[in-house]
C-alpha cells in the first residue's frame, strides 16, 4: 500500500505531467515533415510514408514473436526450454526476404535520387554563398540577373537573450528574403567564403552543403506561392544556429515587379567610393554595419568575449594606425574567427564601420574615408 505521503507525491507528479502535456497541446506539435512545396518534397513525403509503413509492419511482426515468447515461454509459468538450434531453411528465408524487401524500397527511391540530381535546364540560377553567419545571394542567370543581396538574421538580440518577447518567426526571419517565381525551375549553386555551411529549406526538400572553394548545385521548383523557412544545417561556428534561410515564392508578375524595383533600389544605393563623408555620417552608418556584422562576436559594448573574440574597446587595432585596422577588416585574420569582409562589404560600409569602431566606447581615433579603404584593397 502507498503511504499517504507518497500517494500525495505521486499525485503531484501526475498533475505536473498532465500540466506539461496540456501546455504541450496548447502549442502546435510537429510530428512529421513540413508540408511539401515542391515535387521532390512531395516524392520524399510519399517515400518516407511507404518506408515507415514497411518497417513498422516488420517491427511489429518481429517483436510480436518476441513478446509472445516473453509472455508464453517464461520459466515462471513453468515453460521448459526446448534445445533446438540451427535450421538452414529458416536462416535462408530470413536472409532472402529482407534482401527482396530492400529491392522494393530501392526501386522507387532510385527514381527520386536521379530526379533530385537533375539540375539541367533551369529557368533561374542563383548562387548562394555561406558566410559566417549569413547568406549572400547572386542572381547569375535568368530573370533578375545581376541582383545581389545579403540575407541575415532579422531577429533582434533582445529576443534571443530573453529581454523581449519572442516573435512568431523567431530565428526564422531575415532582412532580405530570397525571392523566386512560382513554378519555375530554380538552380541553386552553393559555395562558402570561410567554412562549410549547408543551405536547407525543408518545405522545398533541398539541402546542399556550401563548401569553401567549390561549387555545388541543386534545384527546386516551388508548387505554390508562400514563404518557406529553413536554417543552416552544417555546424559552422559560434552563430551556426542563427543563420536562417527564407525563400519567398511569388507569382511571375510579382517577381517581375520585384526584379524591377530591386534593380532600381540597388542602383540608387550604390555608393560612390570617392565621396567624402562627415565623421557623424560615417559613424551613424557604421553603427548599422557593426550591428549587422560585428556585434555577435565583439559585442555591443565592444568588450568582445575574449580570448576567442577580442575586445575592440581600447584595442591596439582599433586605436592604432588606420592601415592596420583597414587591413584587418578587409582581409580578416587567418587562423582566427575574424572573417575577411572585403568581398561582402563596400568601401563605404567598411569605412563607416571602422569609423564607428574608432570613435565608440572609449576609443577616439578619428574617422576613415571610403577612398582610404579603396586604396588598401589589393
Choice between 251 and 305, CB closer to other proteins: 305
Q: Which residue among 150, 196, 284, 371 contacts other proteins (CB under 8 A)?
A: 196
Nearest residue (CB) to other proteins, 190 versus 315: 190
Alpha-carbon gap, residue 245 to 134, rounded angstroms: 9
In angstroms, what is the minimal distance from the CB of 317 to other proteins?
18
Radius of gyration from C-alpha coordinates of the chain: 29
Q: Which is nearer to other proteins, 283 or 292 (CB)?
A: 292
Binding flag, residue 378, other proteins (CB under 8 A): no
Q: Nearest to residue 248, comparing CAs of 141, 168, 172, 170?
A: 172
Answer whether 229's CB lies under 8 Å from 17's CB: no
Q: Can residue 185 be called a binding residue for other proteins (CB under 8 A)?
A: no
136 close to 129: Cβ distance less than 8 angstroms: yes
Residues 192, 128, 207, 46, Cα dihedral to 10°: -170
Instruction: Choose the stretch contacting other proteins; rule: CB under 8 A; options: 6-14, 86-94, 246-254, 362-370.
Output: 86-94
Q: How far is the CB of 172 from other proteins (least distance, A)?
A: 5
CA atoms within 13 A on the CB side of 361: 17
Counting contacts by CB under 8 A, is residue 48 touching other proteins? yes
53 contributes a contact to other proteins by CB under 8 A: no
For residue 74, CA distances in Å to 12, 60, 81, 189 come to: 36, 21, 9, 61
C-beta atoms surrounding 78 within 10 Å: 6
Toward other proteins, which CB reaches closer, 132 or 355? 132
By CB under 8 A, what part of segment 112-171 binds other proteins?
A: 112-114, 116-117, 159-162, 166, 168-171
Interface with other proteins in residues 229-248 (CB under 8 A): 229-242
Identity of the residue, 157 or 263, whose beta carbon is nearer to other proteins in the bound complex: 157
By CB under 8 A, tell whether 75 contacts other proteins.
yes
Which residues between 5 and 34 bind other proteins (CB under 8 A)?
20, 23-24, 27-34
Query: Is there binding between residue 206 and other proteins (CB under 8 A)?
Result: yes
Task: Report helix angle 322-331 to 347-358, nearest 10.
Answer: 130
Q: How far is the CB of 97 from other proteins (least distance, A)?
A: 9
Please tell me whether residue 303 binds other proteins under the rule CB under 8 A. no
- Please list every residue from 345 through 374 that binds other proteins, using CB under 8 A: none
Q: Which of 349, 374, 218 is nearest to 293 (CA)?
A: 349
Among residues 8, 9, 74, 276, which is the contact residue for other proteins, using CB under 8 A? 74
- Tell which positions 316-345 bind other proteins, by CB under 8 A: 335-337
What is the total count of residues that contact other proteins (CB under 8 A)? 107
Asked if 70 touches other proteins (CB under 8 A), the answer is yes
Position 91 contacts other proteins (CB under 8 A): yes
Q: Rounded CA gap, 364 and 373, in Å?
A: 19
Element (H, E) at 62: helix 39-72
Q: How many CA atoms lie within 13 A of 25 on its CB side?
A: 6
Amino acid at each position: 500500500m502507498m503511504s499517504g505521503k507518497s500517494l500525495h507525491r505521486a499525485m503531484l507528479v501526475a498533475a505536473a505531467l498532465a500540466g506539461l502535456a496540456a501546455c504541450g497541446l496548447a502549442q502546435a506539435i510537429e510530428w512529421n515533415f513540413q508540408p511539401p512545396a515542391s515535387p521532390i518534397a512531395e516524392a520524399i513525403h510519399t517515400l518516407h510514408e511507404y518506408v515507415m509503413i514497411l518497417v513498422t509492419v516488420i517491427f511489429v511482426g518481429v517483436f510480436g514473436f518476441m513478446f509472445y515468447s516473453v509472455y508464453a515461454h517464461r520459466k515462471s509459468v513453468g515453460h521448459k526450454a526446448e534445445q533446438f538450434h540451427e535450421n538452414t531453411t529458416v536462416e535462408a528465408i530470413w536472409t532472402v526476404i529482407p534482401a527482396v524487401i530492400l529491392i522494393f524500397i530501392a526501386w522507387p527511391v532510385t527514381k527520386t535520387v536521379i530526379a533530385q540530381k537533375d539540375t539541367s535546364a533551369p529557368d533561374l540560377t542563383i548562387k548562394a554563398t555561406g558566410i559566417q553567419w549569413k547568406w549572400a545571394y547572386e542572381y547569375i542567370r535568368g530573370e533578375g540577373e545581376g541582383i545581389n543581396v545579403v540575407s541575415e538574421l532579422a531577429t533582434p538580440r533582445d529576443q534571443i537573450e530573453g529581454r523581449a518577447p519572442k516573435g512568431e518567426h523567431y530565428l526564422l526571419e531575415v532582412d532580405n528574403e530570397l525571392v523566386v517565381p512560382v513554378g519555375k525551375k530554380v538552380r541553386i549553386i552553393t559555395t562558402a567564403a570561410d567554412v562549410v555551411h549547408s543551405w536547407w529549406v525543408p518545405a522545398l526538400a533541398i539541402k546542399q552543403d556550401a563548401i569553401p572553394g567549390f561549387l555545388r548545385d541543386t534545384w527546386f521548383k516551388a508548387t505554390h506561392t508562400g514563404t518557406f523557412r529553413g536554417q543552416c544545417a552544417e555546424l559552422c561556428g559560434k552563430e551556426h544556429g542563427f543563420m536562417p534561410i527564407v525563400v519567398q515564392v511569388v507569382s511571375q508578375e510579382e517577381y517581375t515587379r520585384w526584379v524591377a524595383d530591386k534593380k532600381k533600389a540597388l542602383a540608387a544605393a550604390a555608393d560612390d567610393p570617392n565621396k567624402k563623408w562627415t565623421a557623424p555620417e560615417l559613424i551613424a552608418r557604421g553603427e548599422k554595419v557593426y550591428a549587422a556584422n560585428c556585434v555577435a562576436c565583439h559585442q555591443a559594448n565592444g568588450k568582445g568575449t575574449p580570448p576567442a573574440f577580442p575586445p575592440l574597446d581600447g584595442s591596439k587595432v582599433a586605436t592604432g594606425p588606420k592601415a592596420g585596422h583597414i587591413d584587418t577588416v578587409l582581409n580578416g585574420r587567418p587562423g582566427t574567427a575574424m572573417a575577411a569582409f572585403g568581398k561582402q562589404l563596400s568601401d563605404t560600409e567598411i569605412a563607416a564601420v571602422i569609423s564607428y569602431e574608432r570613435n565608440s566606447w572609449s576609443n577616439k581615433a578619428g574617422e576613415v574615408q571610403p577612398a582610404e579603404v579603396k586604396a588598401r584593397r589589393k
